Amino acid sequence: MKRREFLKIIAISSLLTLIKVNTLEAKKGGKKMPFTEYKAKNYKEIRPQLWNMDGISQKTMDEHIKLYEGYVSKYNEAMKLLENLSDDDYTKANPTYSTIRSIKVDITRAIGGIKNHELYFEHLGGKGGKPEGKLLEQIEKDFGNYERFLKELRATAMAARGWAWVSYDHNFKRLFIAIGDEQNTFPIWNSTPILGIDVFEHAYFIDYGTARAKYLDAFFQNLDWKAVEKNFESLKI
**For position 222, which CATH number holds?**
3.55.40.20
Confirm whether 179 is domain-assigned. yes
Evaluate whether residue 67 is within a structural domain: no
In this structure, is residue 157 part of a structural domain? Answer: yes
Which parts of the chain sit beneath pLDDT 50?
6-12, 14-28
In a domain, residue 180? The reply is: yes
On whether residue 42 sits in a domain, the answer given is no
When divided into structural domains, the chain yields a total of 1
- Predicted confidence at residue 226, as pLDDT, reads 98
Burial of 231 (0-12, 13-18, 19+ CB in 10 A): buried
Evaluated on CA atoms 210, 216, 219, 221, the torsion sign reads negative
The range of the structural domain enclosing residue 186 comes to 133-233
Distance of CA 17 to the CA centre of its chain: 41
Give residue 163's pLDDT: 98
State the pLDDT at residue 16. Answer: 42
- 144 lies in a domain? yes
Taking only the tens place, the pLDDT of each residue in 36-45 is 999 999 999 9
The predicted pLDDT at position 1 comes to 52
18 within domain boundaries: no
Instruction: Note if the bond before 143 is cis, omega within 30 degrees.
Output: no
Helices 212-221 and 146-159, packing angle to 10 deg: 140
Q: What integer pLDDT is reported at residue 149 of this predicted model?
A: 98
Q: Is residue 212 assigned to a domain?
A: yes
